[in-house]
Structures are given as C-alpha cells and as structure tokens.
Amino acid sequence: MPTTIDRIEENSALYGFLKVYVDFLFRKYYRVTVNGLENIPSEGTLIFAANHQNALMDALAMLCVRKGQPVFMARADIFKNPTVRKILTFLKIMPVYRIRDGYENLSLNDEIFKKTIDVIRNRNGLVILPEGNHCGEKRLRPLKKGIARIALQAEEAMGGELDIRVVPVGIDYTNYMRVGSRLHVSFGVAIRVAPLLLEYKNSPAKAYNILLNLLTSGLKSEMVHIADEKYYSASKSAIESYSHWRIDKAKQKQTHINNIEFQQKAAQGLEKLKDKSPDDYLVLMAAFMELSRDLKELGFPDGYCPLSRKKKILSVLVLFVLVLTSPLFVYAAVNNAVSLGIPYLFSKKFMDEQFHSSVRFALALFLLPIFHAIQVVTFAFLTANAFYTILYAVSLPLSTYFFFRWKEQFNLNCLALKEIAFGMAKNKLYNRTKLLHNKVVKKVDDLCFGKKRLEMDQSFFED
C-alpha cells in the first residue's frame, strides 16, 4: 500500500479492490454514460485533462470510466495534515505547489516533476484538472499553465521518446448533488506534444500558449460551455429549456447525450447572436429571466419543459405505482435513515455546495457497509433465524437503491401532477408561462437551425 510519493505509480492490490467497490457505488450515485473511448490512443503516454465543476466527483468520474490506476494531481494545501497526506498519496494523488502555498515550497515541484515522468511512463495515465479549482457552472474557465509545463518539460526531458498525448475530457452533470442524476464523460481527440518541442526550445511561453489553446478548443468541443458570465443563469435556462423541447419535437429519447448535443448547439447559437446582434440577445435573455421567475413562482425548477399529453397520462399511472410501493419506501427509509442521514447532515457544514455530493458519497462509502452489518447482526440476534437474516441482509443494499429511485420518481411525478392541476384550473400565470416558453425556445431553435436574424420586440413578452 504505497503511501509515499516515490512509489505512487505502482499498482496496489488494496487500491484495486477499493476501486471496484467505489466504481460500483459511483455508477449508482450517478447514471454514467461515456463517449469517445475510441479517441484514447492505444500507443504513447497519456495525460487526461478534464473540466472541473464538482470537486472530488470529477476525479471519481475519470476513475470509474477507465481501467487501471491513474494518478491525479491536486493543489498542495490539502496535503498539510500528515495523515491526510498519506491517505491522499494512497489514493494516488500528488500535490502541486503554487506561489500562494509559499514561495519557499515551489522548489518541491522539482521532485513532483521527476515523479510525473515515472507516472507517465507507467502508462496508467496522469489526470490533471487544468482549471485549477472547481466551479459549479457549465463553463470552461482559463486553463492554468501547469499542464503545459508538465507535458512539454517531460517530453523534452526524455528527448521526445515519450510521445505524450493530452486527451481533453468533457464532464457534464444534469445535477451536481442529486442521487440518480446523469453524468456524461466525453473523451476528445488527443493532442500530440512532440510537434511542439521545436517551438518550446525557442520560446517556452509561446509553446505553452499553443498547447493551452489547443486544449481549450478540445475541451469546449466535448462539454457544454456557456461563455457569458453576466447572463449565465439566463443562458443556462435557455439551453436546458430548448434541449428538452427540441428532443420532444424530434420525437427522440430524452437521453443525457441528446440533451448535451442540443445544449451545445444552443450555447453556440446564443454566443453568435450576442456577437452579431447584442440588442436581440439582451431581449432574449430578458425573456428567459422572466420565464425563470414565472417558473419559480409556480414551483417548477428552472429550465422546466411543459409535458406532452402522453407524459401527463403516464404520470397518473406512475402515481398509482408509487402509492402501491410506498410501504417499501418506508421500509427503505427506516433502514437507511442513519447511514444516509449522517452524510446528508454533515455535508451541510460545508459552505461550498460543490463539496456536498463529494462529502455525502465519501461518507456513505464507509457508513453503508458498517451500519448494514450492525443491522444484520442485530436482526440475527433478535430473530435467531438464519433464513430471514439472509433475506434481510440481501434487502438492505436493494433498499438503498430503491429509496433513491422511488424518491426521484415521486419528485418528478409531483411536478407532473402540479402541471395537470394548473392546466385544469386554467391558471393564468401557468398559461402565460407556457406560452412564453414556446415563444422563447422557438427563437433559440431559429438560432440553431433557421433564421439568420431574430425579430424580437416588446410584443415578445405579451400574452
């Protein structure tokens, strides 16, 4: 069990065992889909560069979609505690020192750099999140130069023999915290580092910028990138509303991959509109801000898309199933109250919401098997019946899964029934919101597939 950096690239049997367990639960926490595996070179040495939106979960996303034991790089300030340092090293995470960590510590990066060569040559892969820190937005921030320095310096140190490829990786979540949310990992076309060596020898700074620009372009093509920071919320509402509407209109399945495709198209269309016609862009953003306010007042989430008649009928049938299975939900809730409740309450202590899912998942990894074991032993002692004890033991992990799936369907069904009730009551705000939604998503559709210039004025907001 390597807990010192000099052996971090070595495979660990204990790590491999834990990886299987973590990967299994991670794919239950999120519904994971993967795209672009054919873009990962079978030859050469690899550095994976992913966007960073959701703290530890981004690293786990990279870990669960590939075999092997890759090494990660993280900021050095989290390594201050000796015990934490050993744990992080066992988890194959290496520190990177910045000026803010103390100028006197920058020399420690020399040892880190030497070790990255060992890691890269080991061919398990080096994973770097080049934005430097996380941000819970669908937006790629400027990349730090560290990844370019590591790649080019390592390639030069080995005389170009490593043939390093930097693979851009886009990560997208439908919801960062909610269990059962969808997570998509997309691998882009690898970037070869060796062709930049000549430029690097003449001007390291220029070579760094070339590689970073190539990587930035590669990452943006694999993720949803909303460039406008000022109107980020309105833009996010626009692309999410549009993607659901467009998929329904095209009679496609509402998959995460399909949603990402249309969200990317919509985000690009909005950016072009902003550049070519700023006034029209501002009108459209104002319309989506009004739509968001109306949805919030009605009790719907931002980006909500009105349901078709077929889905409304289906929701009534789902309600019947939920009522029938509600005793099973109560059973699941009681049996998982402590093991799931503790991580949930503890996560609330973190001001940064992007840590919530990481804390909940990490604690649940340990608490679920411990408390389930205690419950099984207690049940066996009270019943003294081996057959019932085995049945109870099998039911516990199944009940955890059922708890979250039932809760997810319940929440979705509540929204559907609320929409049905508003429609039957002919609620004026609901009808106005539905009309506004149809108007604005069609304008986005024109951006993506139709008209070169949008015609928008005050009548855009009228009933």
Mean pLDDT, the chain, rounded, equals 90
What value, to the nearest 5°, has the Cα angle with vertex 289 and ends 135 and 55? 10
> What is the phi/psi pair of residue 113, to 5°?
-60, -45
pLDDT-based confidence at residue 2 (cuts at 50, 70, 90)? low
Q: Which two tokens stand for residue 66?
A: 């590939």
Rounded alpha-carbon distances, angstroms, from residue 95 to 4, 230, 355: 12, 33, 19
Q: How many CB atoms lie within 10 A of CB 212?
A: 19
pTM score over 0.75? yes
Give the strand pairing for 31-35 and 126-128.
Answer: unpaired
Reported as type and span, the H/E element at residue 50 is strand 45-50
Residues 6+ apart with CB under 8 A from 275: none
Q: Note the residue count of the chain.
A: 463
Residue 268: band (very low, low, confident or very high) from pLDDT cuts 50, 70, 90? very high
Q: Which structural domains are found in the chain, ordered by start? A: 5-222 (3.40.1130.10), 232-305+428-461 (no CATH), 309-424 (no CATH)
**pLDDT tens sequence across 178-237:** 999 999 999 999 999 999 999 999 999 999 999 999 999 999 999 999 999 999 999 999
How many Cα atoms are found within 13 Å in the side-chain-facing hemisphere of 442? 9
- Asked whether 106 and 53 are in contact (CB, 8 A), the reply is no
Question: 173 CB contacts (<8 Å, ≥6 apart)?
Answer: 30, 53, 54, 57, 181, 182, 183
Whether 460 has a pLDDT exceeding 70, the answer reads no
Instruction: Give whichever of 61-70, 106-115, 171-180 has the largest mean pLDDT.
Output: 171-180
Pairwise CA distance, residues 461 & 463, whole Å: 7
Q: Alpha-carbon distance 153 to 113, whole Å?
A: 9
382-to-267, 336, 372 alpha-carbon distances in Å: 59, 19, 15
Q: Could you identify the residue written with the tokens 């309105």?
A: 234
pLDDT per position as a tens digit, 67-111: 889 999 887 777 877 887 888 888 888 888 765 666 556 667 777
How far is the CA of 279 from the CAs of 234, 268, 276, 319, 401, in angstroms? 15, 17, 9, 45, 49
441 or 454, greater pLDDT: 441
